[in-house]
Structure 1
């Protein structure tokens, strides 16, 4: 047993002496990288608009334009014959194969002093920029129709934001 302890002590002393004998300074180079990515650019596609259609309002209700499928009404709201609805469309340009988050805001449409509010929903709350460097998504929404809503042509806007994840 004493022989093992003596051998271990000798190894430790030798290792300590080797470290002390290597000098008081050592220099090495480090590594650094950087990658600049394309900035995100969001474009509203020409000819597209979130279209809630033409309807009558016997009482309060809603018009819902989903990202997929047919639009629906609720409450006292009824589409008139020949009404067309549609989702809005945007294209995001940026770093290929990069994940992005998509958020949309609420909005309002008005005709003079008369107004209706609406909420929006992007087709995808998150997506990615395809390998081509651009990809599109659609936006649907739900329009809140007030009781006794004044007839007219209403227009308005809402916000859309995209961010890199």
Structure 2
């Protein structure tokens, strides 16, 4: 496609068409299974010469302590969805109580994973037991955590993997 530039004063309005591409996705859950529908993200932060923490609560709110400054509002609690039967018990547990996120600088530790429930419960390798209340057996739950940010943390993207296990009873 050819383009042009004009240095003349223009009094007419040109029509323009813009095209953007979107994305779509769907998660299909089969009975006695679950999927992750949102990833845990601590969002954008700024470090300083003092260590600090960033906590993302199961409801998605984000707080900080120490020498960390929060930037933007792009944090996200992890969200999982599953399918069982009404009143069925489900045990939920973590593979590890803390993990490390690696990136261009010193690794950071994510810890104190918390499941959103009433009341919220700190997850551990010891299973927590919940009952499925949804009339169709469907349920979802969010998970938050705390990130330990080192003093003078190098800028960049840091990633880590954690596991969560559901045992339908």
Distance across 2 between alignment mates of 1:64 and 1:93: 29
> Partner of 2:101 in structure 1?
109
- Equivalent in the alignment of 1:151: 155
Query: Is the contact between residue 58 and residue 77 of structure 2 (CA under 8 Å) also seen in structure 1?
Result: yes
Please give the alpha-carbon distance, in whole angstroms, between the structure 2 residues aligned to 1:92 and 1:76: 38
Q: Which of 95, 116, 124 is the aligned partner of 1:123?
A: 116
1:68 aligns with 2:59: yes
* Structure 2 spans left out of the alignment, 5+ residues: 1-29, 118-127
Tell me the TM-score normalized by structure 1. 0.67
1:24-63 matches, within 5 Å, as: 40-45=32-37, 48-58=38-48, 59-63=50-54
Deviation at 1:42, TM superposition (A): 2.0
Q: Which has the higher helix share?
A: 1
| Structure 1 SS opposite 2:153 | coil
- Superposition TM-score, scaled by structure 2 size: 0.65
Q: How many residues align?
A: 125
Paired with 1:85 and 1:69, the residues of 2 have a C-alpha distance of: 7
Instruction: Give 4+ residue runs of structure 1 displaced > 6 Å after superposition.
Output: none
- Structure 2 Cα separation of the partners of residues 57 and 154 of structure 1: 13
RMSD: 2.1
Q: Distance in 2 between matches of 1:113 and 1:147?
A: 11
- Could you tell me which runs of 5 or more consecutive residues in structure 1 were left unpaired when the two chains were aligned: 1-37
